[in-house]
Structure 1
């Protein structure tokens, strides 16, 4: 496919939405006025695993202001919240998916699961009434890790999942891998236990169900209103036309605002039952207890090399902890998500991955920025550094030896994925130059002179964009000179309003300021897959470009009539319909005013898939007295294909690198052995602040993708994929090869140093 690189793309246009947001003009769910709305408090289980013997709401219903107390008895007829992705095990059977009702029926399976919904005139009254609900629990033994859940004798979480096994999943050629290991000159092995993370977005979840006559509107922050509409309607048993879903401004997402949640369905249910507006706003603790987590993986990985250092095979075997239920896209996160990128930027002849997927008494997991890829690169890139140390090789040279050659693209990996385009060697060279790798020795010497340890870490990485290309884009060129661009994707702060405006403006030859992007409304957009998988600009950008082309074509006949010529005699350029060979023309907006507007519409008709890539380089400085790790330098080279807006790209990279640093150094959504969360607030869960990270520098080594007409590669998740591995390798380098589990907190680093010091000298 030829790249149609539009003039005007690549300009560093400042975000058009920022002026409104910075002066308090945001329209988040909590900002939507609903005078007289009732307030909701959810009563949640304090137990990780227990039978619900009885729920007595008699006293609560008599409390002042109480409008309703809704329990499992009142919601028994509601449907369940299904997953929308699936995997199949080695037997060919689909993953096991127990029903997940909005309110727990007979049993709770994680702390924070809903057991009752209290609706009252005020939030304070709802809280008081919730405290009056009496729940009789019979506690049961709990299990919180995936490997423990699969062990013989573990507490059974769902009767329909014997042994707590959700799916036994494999991909790859096990025989080819075994052959590669059999002829290897060296094998490196790694055991890994990943730390859970939470999203930590600024705007917690919320829901406002508005009852207007017989019409119901659900306002809620989401990553796609059509998915929420489809699932909530299925749960309530109502047709989709009976529910309008709106997401206005959304304050962060990157995964956990994609799944529909029980609270959204219950708020809509209560509004229909009471014929009143109903409002719920999530607390920060509820976010930690109830929104999907990510990264909970236990694995063993092995890398086989020949005598020259060429990679022969990679093998991963592990256990993925899915939590108490199967969340929306969870089945494909640790499985296909890891498999897509497991071989990295390297020419592996053979690869295999085998995962046992387990239920446990923890909050369900799902996609968070990276969605299975950060774990894959921690395994792969740690193994490469380890192999370099064990065989006496330079880790950069070892990588360079095994990179996929530029002439090999498009490249089919050993696990069956087709990487579209790239130049891995150019990426590596650009990253090393940006990082001033040649100056590292001097910086290390300077650190050592101050009694500090310094390490250099590198990680090659990529991302396979995904999501749903279920998009209809509509363009309306109004008589007032405003162009409305309606999309089915959903910004959560990424800058869609700016990127899409640039694409539409470039296609029509107008100023970006004239384009107004409309998103997040099932009444305005006929269909849309929402935002996920780093594919929004691929989906909406490419489709809006085609909608712009359709609008230009739609105006041709009208312009020909106004100019009294044949349409074949017209050309369109610089926002004007021009009679070729003359000075006669009519402007786009002039024509729109004359005929009452010009419309264009297009359906997404290509693939969401692209393969952005990068090389991340981190330098850390460690205080051996305390174990404190300081991320001192971080840089990268990126292949993002055609760049729509370099400022937006830089913002995505900075945010993604910061998220990766959090996973590497401080974030840990831990549970105790009884299933009690140990990180239920921001007092217990550390996230990076401004002074925890350095400036982030990056260079570009772009190769456009042939997979979409604009040549765009999605990059939202790419930086998060590589950052943890690069930082982990830098810490290990500073410590002389000592491995430290993530998060690499001062206590863990200090203890690793003490353990190493106590070992006998070889």
Structure 2
């Protein structure tokens, strides 16, 4: 592969490895002397544990150890933390965060909660022993509905949390919104349910832990999205220092937010391996994944839209009841609160908005970010209420949207939710989508469907996004004397193609052949920090970290070239992989400058051999605001209920597209997941 450019549709370099069966996923990995772990999980949504009996399990040949919740409690390790961006209620009091043990000792609060770990020489032996671990449960009344759990008579999940309420939170001006709604000519209200889903990546969660007795360093191989943050959390829980753990994510088969969370199983697996002095491998099976992985969405919402007689939007009020699950997830109450509120109102202009949310604990798996982490919920709310307003008040839904979309000339602005929208051309995106979809020809297509006994519908929905995730990312570039170059990043792909896109940025910026670029991601030994993947941060932060590092390399490269040219650094330019002095014949390729960088005699006095090897941390200063518009046409057979999505049109404004081919794949995957939630899924 030759040098490449930004905006070039480069085929994924990692795909050859994947399609030829040479990917390395957790279940492909094994270590010498490896043991296998499985978890005993609660069959009850809510129950008291009176005791454990592991004698029969330990008596089985090949069983090495059984760690129960009671054993874990005696070890005195920490509880699983939460790190919610929303830490206070509307009245300034702290949100409720119950303690979550890695293994339940006294009480279980959801089906699938781990209560014990069995470690054996083989998977079959571990599974057989799992069935022999006896747990004395006393079932309790459970509550699994987010609205019902906040009712006075609901069973209480945590003794120290009254009413099962985790958080009550507000954003926007409540008084102004109330006054504006009262002054509007029309107020349209709608109740919505955003159904609960789970990520269900094709590769289940898993961990292989390899302790090194001599060095005391334990290597954790884990199917995860965020190695640095999870390593720090696991070290804290197990009373270790960060440098006692090396955390590596190999190839990861999908994440969608579900592999960003801190779970109990890897923590217990790390302890087991260190305690036994042998590698221990644990991999969830598909059934366990549905029970024990984090879930997402699950909101019950009332939306109120205030309009003038001519259809101009004035006020929007959203009242949501969200769901936490049995315990706070890694980001706690954020998704149901700030995650959904930030982009409230979408691309439409409002004088005022107000968002209110309550979220309670239920006897279900904890909820955490799932693809979009609140923003799709907000888009769903605004587009549904606009559609209802159009039908109820007699407006054309297209015209109603068109007249209320923020004009390009109004930007930059701060929305009533406090979101800084710095750029965008929302009307053009909307009109392009309409033109692609031939909305004018819909009536004829609907008539044709009717002749076949089918119903046909058309819908269009512009959206406003905002990126998230941790605000810093690191990239390191190392050259070798033979001309090879290696890029290491702290962000991580779970199937999105970072190995291609990030190397593409480095190739384009430094004029390097992509075939000569090695790549490492998600290894705490390779980068001092990293934010993993979540909140659509991979290219925004990871890409900028690579570009920033490349810029610093070029700056040092100019010093080397200037020394060779016997001119000032300011006289050296760089373009298409070459350093040159305009107006002269002096020129050096990037490869030639790299070669000189290892020759101490050819370097300026203030530079040392290997001076082009460097790393850089990028920190964003603003949140990016991608936007776009989707439209769909759907045909339904009213007798059978069979749904046929006949056409789907998309226009997205993502700014600079590094690799259009990869971006298209991401968008198409998102459409597939959205259709799945809309039509098929209920977790």
TM-score (ref. length: structure 1): 0.85
Question: Are positions 1:638 and 2:652 aligned together?
Answer: yes
Report 1:579-618 matches (<5 A).
579-596=581-598, 597=610, 598-607=612-621, 609-618=623-632
Q: CA deviation at 1:313?
A: 0.8
- The residue aligned with 1:39 is 36
> Superposed, which structure 2 residues align to 1:207-218 within 5 Å?
207-213=207-213, 214-218=216-220
Q: Distance in 1 between matches of 2:184 and 2:576?
A: 62
Residues 474, 600 of structure 1: 8 Å contact kept: yes
Partner Cα separation in structure 2 for residue 568 and residue 10 of structure 1: 30
Other-structure match for 1:551? 553
Deviation sequence 1:139-184 (CA, Å, 0-9, x none)? 0000001111110121110112110001111111111111121112
State the match for 2:496 in structure 1: 494
What is the rounded CA distance, in whole Å, between the counterparts of 2:258 and 2:357 in structure 1? 23
Q: Per-residue deviation at 1:556?
A: 3.1
Deviations 1:620-647 (A, max 9, x none): 1111112222211111211111111111
1:69 is matched with 66
3-state DSSP of counterpart to 1:632: strand
Partner residue in 1 for 2:474:
472
Aligned counterparts of 2:620 and 2:320: Cα–Cα separation in 1: 35
Comparing 213-222 and 586-595, the one that deviates more: 586-595
Match of 2:666 in 1: 652
**What is the Cα deviation at residue 7 of structure 1?**
8.9
Give the 3-state SS of the residue equivalent to 2:295 in structure 1.
coil
How far 1:590 moved relative to its partner?
A: 2.8
User: After the TM superposition, which residues 369-380 of structure 1 pair with which residues of structure 2 at under 5 Å, given as runs?
Assistant: 369-380=371-382
Once the two structures are TM-superposed, the CA of residue 562 in structure 1 deviates from its matched residue by 4.4
| Separation in 1, partners of 2:85, 2:376 | 21
**Corresponding residue of 2:462:** 460
- Distance between the aligned counterparts of 1:217 and 1:36, measured in 2? 15
Residues 449-458 or 372-381, more deviating: 372-381
Say yes or no: does 1:111 pair with 2:111: yes
1:582 Cα deviation from its structure 2 partner: 2.7
Quick check: 1:405–1:425 contact (8 Å CA) kept in 2? yes
3-state SS in 2 of match to 1:486? strand
After superposition, the C-alpha distances for 1:411-441 in whole angstroms (9 at most, x for unaligned) are 2111111112111110111001111212211
CA distance in 1 between counterparts of 2:576 and 2:670 reads 37
Cα distance in 2 for residues equivalent to 1:275 and 1:321 = 40
Counterpart of 2:46? 49
The alignment partner of 1:415 has SS state of coil
Indicate whether 1:395 and 2:397 are aligned: yes
- Whether the 8 Å contact between 1:469 and 1:608 is mirrored in structure 2 is no
Aligned with 1:138: secondary structure? strand
Residue by residue over 1:683-731, the C-alpha shift from the partner in whole angstroms, topping out at 9 and shown as x without a partner, is: xxxxxxxxxxxxxxxxxxxxxxxxxxxxxxxxxxxxxxxxxxxxxxxxx
Q: Does the aligned pair in 2 maintain the 1:223–1:492 contact within 8 Å? A: yes
The residue number in structure 1 matching 2:168 is 168
2:157 is aligned to 157
Q: How does 1:273-288 map to 2 (within 5 A)?
A: 273-288=275-290
Distance (Å, rounded) in 2 between the aligned partners of 1:134 and 1:113: 15
Is the contact between residue 52 and residue 70 of structure 2 (CA under 8 Å) also seen in structure 1? no
- For the 8 Å contact 2:511–2:590, the answer to whether it is kept is no
Query: For residues 503 and 124 of structure 1, what CA distance do their matches in structure 2 show?
Result: 47
Deviation at 1:377, TM superposition (A): 1.8
Gaps of 5+ in 2: 599-609
Matches of 2:280 and 2:360 in 1, distance apart?
36
Please state if 1:539 is matched with 2:541: yes
Report the secondary structure of 2:191's partner residue. strand
CA distance in 2, matches of 1:570, 1:607: 30
Tell me the equivalent position of 1:223.
225
Say if 2:185 is the partner of 1:192.
no
Partner Cα separation in structure 2 for residue 200 and residue 605 of structure 1: 32
- The alignment status of 1:137 with 2:151, answered yes or no, reads no
Distance 1:359 1:167 in 2: 10
Residue number among 231, 252, 255 corresponding to 2:254 in the alignment: 252
- Deviation (angstroms), 1:381: 0.6
1:434–1:637 contact (8 Å) kept in structure 2: no
What is the distance in 2 between the residues matched to 1:662 and 1:453? 20
1:749 aligns with none
Q: Secondary structure at the match of 2:613?
A: strand
Q: Contact conserved, 1:479 with 1:589, CA < 8 A, in 2?
A: no
- The alpha carbon displacement at 1:579 in A equals 3.8
> Distance in 2 between the 1:637 and 1:392 partners?
28
Alpha-carbon displacement from aligned partner over 1:428-477 (angstroms, at most 9, x marks no partner) = 11001111212211211110110100001111212110111222211113
Residue of structure 1 equivalent to 2:607: none
Maintained 8 Å contact 2:512/2:590: no
Deviation at 1:568, TM superposition (A): 4.2
> Residues of 1 paired with 2:29 and 2:314: CA distance?
58
Match in the other structure for 2:575: 573
The two structures, once aligned, show a CA RMSD in angstroms of 1.5
5+ residue gaps, structure 1, are 1-5, 670-762
Q: Secondary structure at the match of 2:196?
A: coil
Contact 1:479 1:594 in 2 (8 A): no
CA contact (8 A) 1:223 1:532 kept: yes
Q: 2-side partners of 1:484 and 1:331: how far apart? A: 39
Q: Distance in 2 between matches of 1:240 and 1:369?
A: 29
Q: Give the C-alpha shift of residue 127 in structure 1.
A: 0.7
Q: Distance in 1 between matches of 2:480 and 2:553?
A: 11
Deviation string 1:283-338 (CA, Å, 9 cap, x unpaired) is 00111000100011111111111111011111111211110000011321111111
Determine the C-alpha separation between the residues in 2 that align with 1:292 and 1:50.
20
1:349-498 equivalences under 5 Å are: 349-498=351-500
Instruction: Compute the TM-score of the two structures, normalised by the length of structure 2.
Output: 0.95
> Does residue 1:79 correspond to 2:78, yes or no?
yes
Cα distance, 1:107 vs. partner?
0.3
**In 2, are the aligned partners of 1:551 and 1:601 still within 8 Å (CA)?**
no
Distance in 1 (CA, whole Å) between partners of 2:420 and 2:589 is 45
Taking the aligned partners of 2:185 and 2:468, their CA distance within structure 1 comes to 37
Aligned to 1:126: 126
Show structure 1 runs of 4+ deviating over 6 A. none
Is structure 2 residue 91 aligned with structure 1 residue 91?
A: yes
CA distance in 2, matches of 1:304, 1:470: 40
In structure 2, distance between residues paired with 1:548 and 1:477: 12
Cα distance in 2 for partners of 1:194, 1:556 equals 55
Which residue, out of 603, 612, 619, partners 2:633? 619
Give 1:565 deviation, angstroms.
4.8
Whether contact under 8 Å (1:11, 1:645) holds in the other structure is yes
Contact 1:466–1:608 at 8 Å: present in 2 too? no
In the alignment, the residues of structure 2 paired with residue 377 and residue 259 of structure 1 have an alpha-carbon distance, to the nearest angstrom, of: 24
Q: Give the Cα separation in 1 of the matches to 2:297 and 2:338.
A: 14
Distance 1:356 1:176 in 2: 21
Give, in whole Å, the separation in 1 of the partners of 2:558 and 2:415: 47
Whole-Å separation in 2 of the counterparts to 1:398 and 1:136: 60
